[in-house]
Every structure is written in C-alpha cells, then in structure tokens.
Amino acid sequence: MIYFDNSATTKPYPEVLDTYRTAAEQFFANPSSIHKLGGRSEELLKKSREQAAQLLRVKPQEVIFTSGGTEGNNFAIKGTAFAFRHRGKHLMTTRVEHPASLRAFEQLEALGFDVTYLEVDRNGRISLDDVKKALREDTILVSVIHVNNELGTIQPVKEIGQLLKDRPKTLFHVDHVQGFTKVPLDFHEANIDLCTISGHKIHGPKGTGILYKREGIMLSPLLAGGGQEFGFRSGTENLPAIAAFVKAMRLSLERAQNGGIARLRNMTDRLRQALASHPLLSFNTPSGASAPHILNLTVKGIRSEVLVHALDRQGIYVSTKSACSSKTQEPSAVLLATGLSEEDASHAIRISLSFENTMDEVESFLDIFMQTIDKLETVME
C-alpha cells in the first residue's frame, strides 16, 4: 500500500494509540469530578494543555481543545461575529477557504453580516493590496487559510498580520490545519488572534484539535453547558483523545525539526521532475510559495474519479479534492477560483505526503502512475 492522501487524514502513530489506550484505561474519570480519580484526570488535562502550549509557544490559557478543524474554524468565525457585531458586521475571507470556513461565512451572511471574498491569482494566492482595499471601519474579522488544502498554496499570513497590527478592533483568524508541522508559523510574529489546528492531519486521533485564542480575546461560545475550556467550549473533555493528540503534536514537530520538512520537499520535487515531461500532465500547485507535502495536477483526458479508482485497485491512494467535498460531482471550487477550466478541474488529483512516506514509495508510485495513465489513455481513445 502507498498512501498519498495525508491531507485528508493521516494514520495515527503507534505511540499515539498507546497514549490513547493508557489514558482511557487509567484516567477514565470526569476531569470535573471533585473526587480523587477526577483530580487525576484533571491533572492530566492540565499537563496536556501545558505541553501543547509549550509546543505552540503560547500560554496554557490560550489553548482551547476542540473536536478538530471544522469546529475550530466555526468557533473562531462565528464566535467573533456574534461577540463583536456591535462594532460592525463586515467580515473578510478568501475564495479558497476550507468548506468549514466558507459555509460558516455563508450562514453569517444569511444573518445579515457583510462578507468580502477575496479573489486569488492563478496560483491560488490573494493579494495584500486587495486586503488593504477591502478593509473598512466596520471590519471585525479577517480569516485566511494558511496552506490551501487542495493546492498547497501558502498565503501571505505574516504580511496580513502586520497590516492588521494597528487595527486592534479587527481580529485575525488563520486556518493552520494543513500548515501545522509542515510550514512553520509563529503566531506572535504574524500577529494572529485566533488559529485552528487539527489532530488527524498530524497522525493524531480524529475528533481532536486546538483553537489558539490570544489572551484577552472574547468569543461567543457555540456550545452552552458546564463551562469547560475556560467557559468557551462546554462539554466533558475527551481526555484520552486530547492526551493522544498532544503526543502526536510532539512527535510530528520532532520529525519536522529533524529533517522531515526537507524530505517532504525532496519527494515532491522528485514527483515534479519525473512528471513534468509527460504530455498529459500539468501542475496546478505553484512551484514557489507552496507547502512541501501537497502536489495538485491535472491529467488531461482522464477524469479524476476514474484515475483515483484505477490507482486504488493497485494499492495507491490519492484524492480528487478536499475530502469534505470529494464525493460531490462538481469540479473543485478552489481550482475554478484560480481560473482553471471546468474540464481541467474535473481531471485534477491531489497527492499529499506525510513525514512517514519515503522516496522508495515515490519511485514505486511513479512507475505505477505512469503505467496507469498510459492504459487509461488507450481506453479513452
């Protein structure tokens, strides 16, 4: 098996699963319970939060555990809109956000908020000048995906953060789900107020995530209840998953710092070099300002679903677009936003790697991929 669909989800590390099992067996009590067992669980939750904060270089009270990227994005976007609508109702985002963000903005539009959707260039990148022009006195939120989940394009997050530095009434939210561990981001240097990360993209368990909320920022909670997570996210904490997620954070960051990012870049460079001369292939991921683990390409004349299933039968796993939208028949909205034709967008696939992939897998993939394209091209003629 060659698994190149890591932007959809990753396989949990064995150590992560061990941590989950240990925590589930030995720290099963509710962290809110006042007896000794509850106290032990509360202590593990505290230590997990402190370790996560240390890894992110933030304060423990700025770490809110969530169920993942979708909840984190919704919480940041809606929580800001509802908390600060007295200041204004103008929000800003891009055309190439994850569906979790786009759908949240659409819901807010239905409630009377005014949303500006920034257009992107052929590489899927927004212009800093467009951000400047779109800012208004009543702009309360700018929300931007750091690394696009389909293209791998990196947005100018640091520059946007600096632009907003003198606008304390405009909050800055970054969807860092695809970038975390692969594309370093200093929350403070980029002047980020809110930042979303997800566990299952970094070999952690599904249903885990963090919303970084800068100290002093107020949000309207989406979930009412017992007041867990400093009163911002009620509900009994999923302690085994949280502990396992933090373990995945540590392990993934260690791999990144020990040459993992360079190895990812070497693998995607090898894919580009080997595929560049094929007459049916064209790259949609830009060669510059892109993440090291994502490569999106179009195979002319072969629909993406056909190619994905053909590779599947040979034990190779890639995807067509965002996993959240992959079962719909419409072409990728992200690719269309870059100006790609509907036909080319319908023939695009995404290859996404992780620190666990190897160059040997890349070479095996290339052999099978080329053979599969040649066979399908013959059938399609």
Residues β-bridged to residue 348: 298
User: What angle in degrees, to the nearest 10, is found between the helix axes of 261-275 and 359-380?
Assistant: 30
Q: What is the 3-state secondary structure (H, E, C) of 12-60?
A: CCHHHHHHHHHHHHHCCCCCCCCCHHHHHHHHHHHHHHHHHHHHHCCCH
Relative to beta strand 209-213, strand 63-66 is: antiparallel
Averaged pLDDT for residues 312-326 = 81
Q: Which amino acid is at 74?
A: N
Backbone dihedral region of 233: left (phi > 0), alpha (psi from -120 to 50 degrees) or beta?
beta
Q: Please, which pLDDT band fits residue 259 given cuts at 50, 70 and 90?
A: very high
Following CA atoms 96, 373, 357, 148 in sequence, which dihedral angle do they give, to the nearest 10 degrees?
0
Judge contact between 171 and 75, C-beta under 8 A.
no
Predicted confidence (pLDDT) at residue 309 exceeds the cutoff of 90:
yes
CATH 3.40.640.10 fits 14-250, yes or no: yes
Q: Please, which pLDDT band fits residue 324 given cuts at 50, 70 and 90?
A: low
C-alpha closest to that of 294 among 186, 173, 164, 154: 154
- The residues of the chain that CATH labels 3.90.1150.10 are 2-8+259-367
Q: What are phi and psi of 209, to 5 degrees?
A: 180, 175
Following CA atoms 249, 251, 253, 254 in sequence, which dihedral angle do they give, to the nearest 10 degrees?
160
Q: What is the pLDDT of residue 321?
A: 75
Averaged pLDDT for residues 298-310 = 96
Judge contact between 336 and 122, C-beta under 8 A.
no
Which superfamily does CATH assign the domain made up of 2-8+259-367 to? Answer: Aspartate Aminotransferase, domain 1 (3.90.1150.10)
Provide CB contacts within 8 A for 135, sequence distance 6+.
Answer: 92, 142, 167, 170
Interval 116-147: pLDDT, tens? 999 999 999 999 999 999 999 999 999 999 99
Share the mean pLDDT of the chain. 96
Q: Please, which pLDDT band fits residue 291 given cuts at 50, 70 and 90?
A: very high
Core vs surface per residue 173-188: b (16+ CB within 10 A) or e: bbbbbbbbbbbebebe
Predicted confidence (pLDDT) at residue 78 exceeds the cutoff of 60:
yes
Interval 336-380: pLDDT, tens? 999 999 999 999 999 999 999 999 999 999 999 999 999 997 765
Q: What is the pLDDT of residue 355?
A: 98
- Residue 375, number of CB atoms within 10 A of its CB: 11
Distance, in Å, from the CA atom of 55 to the CA atom of 77, rounded to the nearest integer, reads 24
Interval 32-46: pLDDT, tens? 999 999 999 999 999
**Active-site amino acid positions:** 324
In the chain, which residue ranges form alpha helices assigned H by DSSP?
A: 14-26, 36-56, 69-83, 99-110, 128-134, 157-163, 239-255, 261-275, 304-312, 333-337, 342-346, 359-380
Q: What is the pLDDT of residue 327?
A: 56
- The residues of the chain that CATH labels 3.40.640.10 are 14-250
Distance, in Å, from the CA atom of 194 to the CA atom of 77, rounded to the nearest integer, reads 9
Predicted confidence (pLDDT) at residue 328 exceeds the cutoff of 90:
no
Q: What is the pLDDT of residue 34?
A: 94
